[in-house]
Amino acid sequence: MSQPLAVAIAHSNIALIKYWGKSDSARNLPAVPSLSLTLDGLTTTTRVHFDAELAEDHVELDGSVALGREQKRVVALLDRVRALRGFDTRARVASRNDFPTAAGLASSASGFAALALAASTAAGLELPLETVSGLARQSSASAARSLFGGFASLPADSECAHQLAPEGHWDLRLLVAVTEEGRKPLGSTEAMEVTKQSSPYYAAWVAHAPTLYQEAERAIRELQFDALGASMEQSTLMMHASMWATRPAILFLTEGTLAVIHRVRTLRSQGLPCYFTVDAGPHVKVLTEAKHADALQCELTALSQVKRVIPCAAGAGARLISETELAGKVALC
């Protein structure tokens, strides 16, 4: 093999219009269309090395050997790459996030996007970005969007995501208000499956999601901030409402989350343009225009429930980096 090693970086993305629920669980196809902003902060760096000497895959995440479900999900993606390439060589994978893993900050999105790009390249495959997005999507549907910079879309039932508008299209900021440190108790995959199985609100969610998606897509095209914010907040709260109606209820929103949500609404009523979104975790991501980002950051940082604020602008899509560039960035292992 000519190039058995590759390193890729990918940024996390935050859904402005949420993916929640699968139309086909076995193929991991989304039941609803989603739309995201790729962020310039929250980065995963992943190196994949296919090595004929290895008897099995070796996976290290944030400096620790991955076990159980985490390890299985990585190996499953490597298996798909091996099947495409038609070889059986095992790989050494090392990956590092510059933000807390599995805490509701979309670490699986940047993680599987970086892994899909690094693994397919290391295997010698030169795949179109859409195909790499499809590989990532099979591991975690939100990851399909992180291959693309700026605004990305993953239509319902779709194999892969595509870019709606590049990062320079609109100078927005997403401020991540971290309300708790530590891993979240329940993963998105399980939580959305329970919602589908037991929430009487799930059907209403799936029926209304395309309307929210279309509103948001138009708002992005026409740079209508309030229209985008309104669709984003409704998508967020409809998704959480569908979870609240499961038995037992799934509650990702904590007291801290609600305090930040209320503060955002108050600030908006006082004339600071800002809108909230929350994923499968307690943190609140607050969208604003670049010119208001500093004022908003001061307001959020002042809240006792907020541990820290990570300000993010629109970021680029996943890309390969050289070993030299890697050496200047992070120590992988």
**List of residues contacting ligand DP6 (CB under 6 A):** 15, 18-20, 28, 34, 106, 108, 140-142, 188-189, 279-280
Between 189 and 224, name the residue whose CB sits nearer to ligand DP6.
189
Between 89 and 188, name the residue whose CB sits nearer to ligand DP6.
188
Residue labelled with tokens 């095209």: 221
Specify whether the CB–CB gap between 75 and 58 falls below 8 A: no
Between 140 and 257, name the residue whose CB sits nearer to ligand DP6.
140
Shortest distance in whole angstroms from residue 51 CB to ligand DP6: 28
Helix axes 68-85, 107-122, angle to 10 degrees: 30
Say which residues have a Cβ less than 8 Å from residue 305's Cβ, sequence separation at least 6. 179, 255, 256, 259, 260
**Residue 77: how many CA atoms within 13 Å on its side-chain side?**
33
Shortest distance in whole angstroms from residue 116 CB to ligand DP6: 13
Say which residues have a Cβ less than 8 Å from residue 265's Cβ, sequence separation at least 6. 276
Shortest distance in whole angstroms from residue 125 CB to ligand DP6: 23
Between 250 and 274, name the residue whose CB sits nearer to ligand DP6.
250
Say which residues have a Cβ less than 8 Å from residue 218's Cβ, sequence separation at least 6. 224, 227
> What's the CA gap between 160 and 117, in Å, rounded?
14
Shortest distance in whole angstroms from residue 310 CB to ligand DP6: 16
Shortest distance in whole angstroms from residue 143 CB to ligand DP6: 6
Between 7 and 77, name the residue whose CB sits nearer to ligand DP6.
77
